[in-house]
């Protein structure tokens, strides 16, 4: 297949690209390198620098002929999204609509969205399943839900199929050591902990000690990035 990854130079994207390259698929990487690293782009991948907010550039690259688009090009810091909602709406919502409509215009019929468990909000029951009510508690989660809803409508109205992957926090790194560069300005817990351990950050802030857990501390679900 010919697979185009938007945000393919980022943390999750570079690992996804590896899996397709292992299958001998043709892989294209579209990234603005705001957090991703060119050094982590596989040498067999085709690289296109660009921003998903640039509609003309998006159409230009989509017009090269792809079987499937995978969308990983989103800002993802939940806390920041509450402080800078315009930044998140312009990139995560407007930028995503550029990708979706671009796929329709260029005949790309298959779309995979890197969504998030943040679309669910606070769990009403556990374990959370796909039918759990969607009630995001931060603007980042809302942007993901908004993209999902638009994809749902386009799939009903056009010759278009999509999948949304609502995974929880991704952690880990390629176990075969094929990635060497670290993400720029990480906001996820594991890399923040590692940066504190290495002396890059002065401290680690822990919020709250009265969670409904055995010891009162927070609990999170993680999935290894390769999985």
pLDDT tens across the length of the chain (227 residues): 999 999 999 999 999 999 999 999 999 999 999 989 999 999 999 999 999 999 999 999 999 999 999 999 999 999 999 999 999 999 999 999 999 999 999 999 999 999 999 999 999 998 999 999 999 999 999 999 999 999 999 999 999 999 999 998 899 999 999 888 887 777 788 888 999 999 999 999 888 889 889 999 888 889 999 99
Q: 86 is written with which tokens?
A: 């315009």
Domains of the chain, residue spans: 2-170
In CATH terms, is domain 2-170 a member of 3.20.20.220?
A: no
What separation, in Å, do the N-terminal and C-terminal C-alpha atoms of the chain show?
21
CA distance 23 to 149: 31
Q: Is 167 a catalytic residue?
A: no
Q: 124 is written with which tokens?
A: 């009403």
The predicted pLDDT at position 220 comes to: 82
Q: How far is CA 95 from CA 13, 31, 211, in A?
A: 17, 12, 36
Q: Per the residue annotation, which of 11, 75, 139, 140 is the catalytic one?
A: 140
The predicted pLDDT at position 219 comes to: 84
The predicted pLDDT at position 181 comes to: 83
The predicted pLDDT at position 151 comes to: 98
Q: 5 is written with which tokens?
A: 């990854």
The predicted pLDDT at position 116 comes to: 96
CB 62 within 8 A of CB 52: no
Strand partners, 50: none
CA distance 59 to 179: 30
Cis peptide before 174 (omega within 30 of 0): no
Helices (H) and strands (E) in the chain, counts: 7, 8
The predicted pLDDT at position 221 comes to: 83
């Amino acid at each position: 297949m010919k697979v185009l990854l938007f945000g393919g130079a980022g943390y999750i994207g570079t690992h996804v690209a590896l899996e397709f390259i292992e299958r001998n698929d043709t892989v294209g990487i579209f990234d603005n390198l705001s957090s991703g690293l060119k050094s982590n782009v596989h040498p067999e991948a085709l690289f296109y620098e660009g921003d998903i907010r640039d509609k003309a550039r998006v159409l230009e690259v989509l017009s090269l002929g792809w079987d499937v688009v995978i969308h990983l090009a989103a800002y993802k810091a939940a806390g920041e999204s509450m402080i800078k909602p315009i930044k998140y709406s312009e990139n995560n919502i407007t930028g995503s609509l550029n990708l979706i409509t671009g796929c329709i215009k260029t005949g790309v019929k298959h779309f995979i969205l890197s969504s998030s468990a943040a679309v669910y909000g606070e769990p009403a029951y556990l374990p959370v399943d796909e039918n759990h009510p969607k009630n995001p508690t931060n603007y980042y989660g809302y942007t993901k839900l908004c993209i999902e809803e638009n994809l749902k409508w386009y799939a009903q109205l056009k010759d278009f199929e999509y999948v949304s992957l609502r995974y929880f926090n991704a952690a880990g790194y390629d176990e075969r050591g094929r990635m060497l560069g670290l993400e720029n300005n990480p906001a996820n817990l594991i890399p923040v902990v590692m940066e504190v351990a290495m002396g890059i950050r002065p401290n680690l802030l822990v919020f709250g000690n009265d969670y409904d857990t055995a010891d009162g501390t927070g609990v999170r679900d993680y999935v290894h990035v390769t999985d």
